[in-house]
Structure 1
Amino acid sequence: MTMDDVPLDDKVKRTRDLLSSFYSQDSSQTSVPTNSTSRFATLDTINTTSFDADQYMNLLVQKSNLEGLLQRHVEMAAEIKNLDTDLQMLVYENYNKFISATDTIKRMKNNIVGMEVNMEQLLDKIMSVQSRSDGVNTSLFEKREHIEKLHRTRNLLRKVQFIYDLPTTLGKCIKSEAYGDAVRFYTGAMPIFKAYGDSSFQDCKKASEEVMAVIINKLQDKVSSDSESIQARAEAVMLLKKLDFPVENLKSKLLEKLEQFLEELDLFVEIKVASEDHHESTSQGNETDSISPIHEVPTREFVEAVHAYHVIFPDSEQHLVKLVHDLTTRHFEAAKQQIQEQISSAKLLNRLRFIWTDVLLIDDVLPEAGIQDFAFEAARVALKQYVTSSFSHLLQEISDTLLQIQKDGTGQEHPLKVALEASRNVLLQGSTKVLSDIRHLLDDDLGLVLKLRDILISWVQEGFQSFFRQLNDLLVLLSGKNVSTAQEQFLTERVQADKVPAGLVLVIAELSVFIERDAISRITEEIGSSLSGGGPTFVPAEVRHTFRSAGEKFLLRYINMRSQRISILMKKRLSTPNWIKHKEPREVHMFVDLFLQELKAVGSEVKQVLPHGLTRKHSRTESNGSTSSSRGNTLRDNRTNTNRARSQLLETHLAKLFKQKMEIFTKVDHTQESVVMTIVKLCLKSLQEFVRLHTFNRSGFQQIQLDMQYLRITLKDSAEDEAAVEFLLDEVIVASAERCLDPCPLEPAILDRLVQAKLAKTVDQETAAS
């Protein structure tokens, strides 16, 4: 086994142990106690200084068999060989160092040979200097003692002179109002007055006390004076305290002055903030500039006064904490007031920067108040109010925009279109402005806002989620659907009387579709690009689902409102005359014109708001047959037998229902054609039901036939589903025939002549109006 066969880690460990044992100066550090070795003997003790060969062999024989002993013999032979090799390498490596050390020792020995002579000469010179120094000290000793005595006498005379001149000096301090120097001089002379005030310096003490009494009165007046600054008052209290004057009675007065100073500071801050806001609104400067030093001057004076008060009255911490908390609360209350007035983010930052500057100044001198934590909590409330107020303002703007339809819609050519575009713009621009304002707050390095960054982002995302819920509730409220008692007053105040314009409901329906299809995607993208961090609290899918359902409900609400209005007109038309005594029809009834006018108004509204749909007109095929012609023939063939005619009409009607299987009412789309068609179908269906409630004579039946024929022609070009319209018109005729005592229809020629006359009259009226 060679050196190459030994693992590298074992070789390095062995070399390190050899070097350690070679250079070790304390063999006891690596040795193991004998009693420990005997008690806890192992095969690893071969590398220690307390190695016992016999004990090792006994242990080895006990633990190993013959094959293991032979293997251990081979290993130990290899280790011995390796150790010899390592030792030789160690000697070779240190040989040059041994030679160099030997040469160095030789040179040191040669250099020390002449050093003893030089040291003896130096010692002689030092002894000579010491003897001469002792001689000089002996000769000057008496003179030095005399000089020191004279110096002490001179200092004593100065002190005596100062005591005699003290009343005059104090008087000069009064004239120059240097009360601090006066107190310092008097307190410095107090030890002498206490020792000799009743004997040698009795007159000086008495005169000084009289002057100090005047100074104490002046200091008291200074504390109570309104013209003095709070810092000067605090200094006066400090001086009185040094004179052992009882200042507890001045504590409440000074605290009252601090509170008064607080009000003045608060007023100054309001004026300064207002001026800063005006400057920012009239200039294009950087809005994040540092606070003007002019603001820091009164604040710093207040802070220094608080600090001085705290030093003078150490037990006044509770009062001072309440005082600075009151200052911060006033600042934030003013900020909240501005937030209610729709303050901009720049002005809010300016206000918060003023507050934070004051907080940092106060925290330096009164850390016990915990003013930073107090300010953070107040800022949390203020910023939460700011976010809530921003969304409330946006909601109010959308509401005002929609309500303009009723206020001044009649004065505009396309009021619904204008209102829809305006509400869309308000929604998108308002949302962008909210995000921009929050981004402006977050981009600033103000510590008061940075600590609330994540929660502010969460508030904004939660605010958007809540905003769209509230917007949905607002749209439901403005549409007049499911209005509660509490909301009825709001609706009455915002919408004239208790009437909700149908056009407003149509705009609300299309706005809901816009929110679901377009606005949510844009706002989601802007939130992702503007705000990073916070929790994913805005759920676009939920909002889309809400407004998808709302859009359908509002559109049906509009259709129902328009259909109900027309149905009331039809019901009134059918309820007014006595159909049993109805005269022979001469022209189309006026209610048809009113019906067409309502449909024209509906068309005008939907054209402003809804897009065109796919062009598809469903016409009746000849296979379905002509209801009017077949019934006309049936009626003409059965004039002599009314009951038989009615029976055959009923049979024909039932056969037709099973034959056509026509789907009248389908899903309503957000298109012009679909909405108008649905209203027409509903109105004609209502007309059919109203007809079933009356009994007609022949003339009454013929009047209904004439009116329906005119509608058949006028609705033909505008109807998307012509087949359904004709079917419903036929249904009205059939219903009137079923309720007629003598269902004899008009002759086709007479019917055509009356319809053409009405069409010509209508054309003339339109020409004259244009």
Structure 2
Amino acid sequence: LAIIWIVSVHGMLKLYYGLNEEGKTVDQAESMDPCDINGPHFDPEVYLNKLRRECSLGELMDQETCMVKQIRSLDSDMQTLVYENYNKFISATDTIRKMKNDFKKMEDEMDCLSTNMASITDFSARISGTLQDQHAQITKLSGVHTLLRKLQFLFELPARLNKCLELQAYAQAVSSHRRARCVLQQYSHMPSFRGIQDDCHAIMDKLAQELRQKFRDGGSSAKDLSECVELLLQLDEPAEELCDKFLSHAQSRLEADLLGLEAETDILEFIDRGCNEFVSSLCLVIASYQELFVNRPQEGELASKNIPQMAIGKLHAFVDALATRYFSLVERRIQEEKSVGDNSLLVRALDRFHRRLQAVAKLLPGSAVPSQGTEIVVRAARERIKQYLAALQSFYLNSLTDVRQALAAPRLGGSSAGELLSTLSASILNQIKSVLASVHLFTAKDITFSNKPYFKGEFCSHGVRESLVVNFIKFVCQSSRQFCESAGDRGGSTPPALLLLLSRLCLDYETSTITYILTLTDEQFLVQHHSPVTAVTALCGEAREAAQKLLNHYVKVQGLIISQMLRKSVETRDWVNTIEPRNVRAVMKRVVEDTTSIDVQVGLLYEEGVRKAHSSDSSKRTFSVYSSSRQQTRYAPSYTPSAPMDTNLLSNIHKLFSERVEIFSPVEFNKVSVLTGIIKISLKTFLECVRLRTFGRYGLQQIQVDCHYLQMYLWRFVSDENLVHFLLDEIVGSTAHRCLDPAPMEQSVIEVICERG
């Protein structure tokens, strides 16, 4: 029963909505299955038998539950349809009832209107019949009346023109004369009309003379001049002559505006005044000129002379000449803008300048003025880049001066080298960011010229990246290298600490700063490397080269400073007649103190570095007078002149089999390598000075004491203590070779003296 009910309801709904078999579309395939509940050939008995045969009891119960839900859903839909259609039926009934009342009223009004129209038609027919005979006469009289009015206007024209001339109503006089000119010309063979024509010509000649005088005097405004030119053209004055006079007068006015610009000092006020006065007046002149001479319809002889082409040529020459003078003033004023503190003022001024010139492009297509204005903006941007580069360079040099003063100041309460380096690096980076932010104003979206190809491409890549950032980085590296080239052998006036600090600065630039700055520039200006630009690796290599050169020079300078002390201490002493040593010489203590100070100084900027393993008795190292053995042996208590072999020979044999010491080898970027280089130079100088002197017994013993004292401390600073031992052995051995009475001091006595010292 439920199935039968669903089918019947389904059929009723199809019947209600008019969905019969013929209404199906082609895509709706007709189902022939008797078990298809939605098909037209559905058979309930067959469907039930199939369910009982194929489904279990649980499935039959589920099927029943599903059908109950469908029945309820269909019932609800039917009720909804009934309610909706009932409301529509009521609404349709009300509408029909209302229409009946409205149509009744309209029928009455239409009947009344039909009656009135019939009455009007009858009345019109009677009037036409009455006036049929007088219509021709009325038409004739109307024509005569019109002719009389025209004749009256012609006869009164001279008096009217004189009156207009007295009141200076020149436009009205010209208009009245143009209206009557053709008629007077047509009937000039008649004496009366010829007299009127002659009187009018005389009056108009006088009027033209007054207009020419007014035009020659300049008038009161540009509008009055345009009216004068317009009236003179209507009076058939030569157009070419009027073009020249109009442009000449406009030029005098515009030149006065240009003279007024020279008094302005502020760049923004200068541009505003130039745009509001000169450019606006120029645009007004162009518009008036084109309206008067170019776009004016030509008739008769003027059309055959091709006046518009001639006028356009004169206008272009006029505009180009004045624009050239204006642009020269603008460029000169921009060049005077040397301050780079606030770039927004200049950018706003250039934006207004460029924006106002676009009006000239619209008024005068084909003019070179807008492109010339864009070139001025481009040149100003390039000049600004140069100014910012110079400002960055000046800031860097001033920062170095501050660092030098800080290094030269007393250390008490002063900044350390690490703090100075951090301050210097941060201030330079902040200054670069500030400059990039100022230059970025040229590419802001609200700036009219920022969409030009130059500011989208070349300005960003070659202007900002190459000419500004890359050139500044190169300047930092080059100026740092100059401290090495101009310092001389003794370091000149450059503090060695500054060389060390700059070396670390260049090394930091190589490791991270250069990459950061260029990445920041590329992201901020959307730099696309379509054209060749300086690679980051090339700049990093240049910075590392500068750092290496500075560090090498620092080692050389510090080594030479210590060497100078050692050299003077050797050269100014009489080593043959010296007294028996009782103390370590003060210069040796100074050498150790300076080396310790250098160690602290370098340690503030560079890492420790790698050292070779030290022997347990490095501070107790002893030296042999003879260089035949490098083992740790004590000096012989007495010198034996009859040695079996020449000590010189033994020393040379040992050198053949020992590793060569490179004194001025490249320094690595760590503290141990720097101190090793300085100590090598110092001890090598000590050795060479010893080789140039002659020593007595006590001179040899003093050198022994000094070398032992140096050995006690210097081995801590170098990467390989054997290097210090080797050089000190060379110094003692060389001293013994040049000693007149080589009697070494007991090692125990040397140790006591050194420990006491």
The normalised TM-score by structure 2 is 0.67
Contact 1:234/1:305 (<8 A) preserved: no
1:172 to 2:171 alignment: no
Query: CA offsets, 1:539-590, max 9 Å, x none?
Result: 2122222222322222111111111222233222222233333343343333
Contact 1:273/1:350 (<8 A) preserved: yes
Paired residue type of 1:304: L
TM-fit CA distance, 1:601: 4.5
Pick the aligned partner of 1:458 from 458, 461, 470.
Answer: 461
Paired residue type of 1:574: V
Contact 1:183/1:239 (<8 A) preserved: yes
Q: 1:296 to 1:319 in 2, by over 3 A?
A: closer
1:369 to 2:367 alignment: yes
1:471 to 2:476 alignment: yes
Query: CA offsets, 1:689-717, max 9 Å, x none?
Result: 22112221222222222222222334355
Moved more, 345-354 or 356-365: 345-354
In structure 2, what is the equivalent of residue 308 of structure 1? Answer: 288
Moved more, 321-330 or 558-567: 321-330
User: Residues 392-403 of structure 1: matches in 2 within 5 Å?
Assistant: 392-403=390-401
Paired residue type of 1:508: L
Query: CA offsets, 1:344-397, max 9 Å, x none?
Result: 453343123212222111112222313333333333333333334434433332
In structure 2, what is the equivalent of residue 549 of structure 1? Answer: 545
In structure 1, C-alpha distance between the alignment counterparts of 2:458 and 2:704, rounded to whole Å: 71
Q: 1:131 to 1:420 in 2, by over 3 A?
A: same
Contact 2:465/2:522 (<8 A) preserved: no
The normalised TM-score by structure 1 is 0.66
TM-fit CA distance, 1:506: 1.3
TM-fit CA distance, 1:303: 1.0
In structure 2, what is the equivalent of residue 503 of structure 1? Answer: 497
In structure 1, what is the equivalent of residue 670 of structure 2? Answer: 671
Q: 1:210 to 1:254 in 2, by over 3 A?
A: closer
Contact 2:624/2:733 (<8 A) preserved: no
In structure 2, what is the equivalent of residue 712 of structure 1? Answer: 711
Contact 2:711/2:728 (<8 A) preserved: yes
Q: Which secondary structure does the structure 2 equivalent of 1:751 belong to? A: helix
Paired residue type of 1:694: R
TM-fit CA distance, 1:152: 1.3
Structure 2 runs not aligned, ≥5 long: 1-120, 294-310, 627-631
Q: 1:424 to 1:179 in 2, by over 3 A?
A: farther
Paired residue type of 1:684: L
TM-fit CA distance, 1:149: 1.0
Q: 1:663 to 1:410 in 2, by over 3 A?
A: closer
TM-fit CA distance, 1:688: 0.9
TM-fit CA distance, 1:451: 2.0
Paired residue type of 1:303: C
Contact 1:193/1:201 (<8 A) preserved: yes
Q: 1:539 to 1:563 in 2, by over 3 A?
A: same
In structure 2, what is the equivalent of residue 563 of structure 1? Answer: 559
Tell me the C-alpha RMSD between the 2 structures.
Answer: 4.3
Contact 2:457/2:527 (<8 A) preserved: yes
In structure 2, what is the equivalent of residue 639 of structure 1? Answer: 639
In structure 2, C-alpha distance between the alignment counterparts of 1:205 and 1:529, rounded to whole Å: 77
Q: 1:650 to 1:183 in 2, by over 3 A?
A: farther
TM-fit CA distance, 1:255: 5.1
Paired residue type of 1:724: L
Q: Name the structure where helix makes up a greater proportion of residues.
A: 1
In structure 1, what is the equivalent of residue 484 of structure 2? Answer: 480
Contact 2:691/2:735 (<8 A) preserved: yes
In structure 1, what is the equivalent of residue 740 of structure 2? Answer: 741
Contact 1:706/1:755 (<8 A) preserved: yes
In structure 2, C-alpha distance between the alignment counterparts of 1:211 and 1:397, rounded to whole Å: 72
User: Residues 205-220 of structure 1: matches in 2 within 5 Å?
Assistant: 206=202, 209-210=205-206, 213-220=209-216
In structure 2, C-alpha distance between the alignment counterparts of 1:434 and 1:370, rounded to whole Å: 33
Paired residue type of 1:468: I
In structure 2, C-alpha distance between the alignment counterparts of 1:296 and 1:619, rounded to whole Å: 83
Contact 1:515/1:547 (<8 A) preserved: yes
In structure 1, C-alpha distance between the alignment counterparts of 2:224 and 2:567, rounded to whole Å: 91
In structure 1, C-alpha distance between the alignment counterparts of 2:577 and 2:254, rounded to whole Å: 94
In structure 1, what is the equivalent of residue 585 of structure 2? Answer: 589
TM-fit CA distance, 1:449: 1.7
In structure 2, C-alpha distance between the alignment counterparts of 1:533 and 1:612, rounded to whole Å: 37
Contact 1:167/1:207 (<8 A) preserved: yes
Q: Which secondary structure does the structure 2 equivalent of 1:535 belong to? A: coil
TM-fit CA distance, 1:664: 8.4
In structure 2, C-alpha distance between the alignment counterparts of 1:666 and 1:394, rounded to whole Å: 35
Q: 1:398 to 1:180 in 2, by over 3 A?
A: farther
Q: 1:211 to 1:525 in 2, by over 3 A?
A: closer
In structure 1, what is the equivalent of residue 61 of structure 2? Answer: none
User: Residues 436-451 of structure 1: matches in 2 within 5 Å?
Assistant: 436-451=437-452
User: Residues 272-421 of structure 1: matches in 2 within 5 Å?
Assistant: 273-274=268-269, 299-309=279-289, 311=292, 313-316=311-314, 317-328=316-327, 330-338=329-337, 340-342=338-340, 344-411=342-409, 413-414=414-415, 416-421=417-422
Q: 1:751 to 1:272 in 2, by over 3 A?
A: closer
In structure 1, what is the equivalent of residue 695 of structure 2? Answer: 696
1:535 to 2:540 alignment: no
Contact 2:340/2:388 (<8 A) preserved: yes
Contact 2:694/2:739 (<8 A) preserved: yes
Contact 1:328/1:355 (<8 A) preserved: no
1:603 to 2:599 alignment: yes
In structure 2, C-alpha distance between the alignment counterparts of 1:208 and 1:652, rounded to whole Å: 127
In structure 1, what is the equivalent of residue 429 of structure 2? Answer: 428
In structure 1, C-alpha distance between the alignment counterparts of 2:331 and 2:350, rounded to whole Å: 8
Contact 2:700/2:742 (<8 A) preserved: yes
Structure 1 runs not aligned, ≥5 long: 1-125, 277-291, 484-490, 760-770
Contact 1:635/1:645 (<8 A) preserved: no
Q: 1:209 to 1:629 in 2, by over 3 A?
A: closer
In structure 2, C-alpha distance between the alignment counterparts of 1:750 and 1:571, rounded to whole Å: 26
In structure 1, C-alpha distance between the alignment counterparts of 2:432 and 2:476, rounded to whole Å: 13
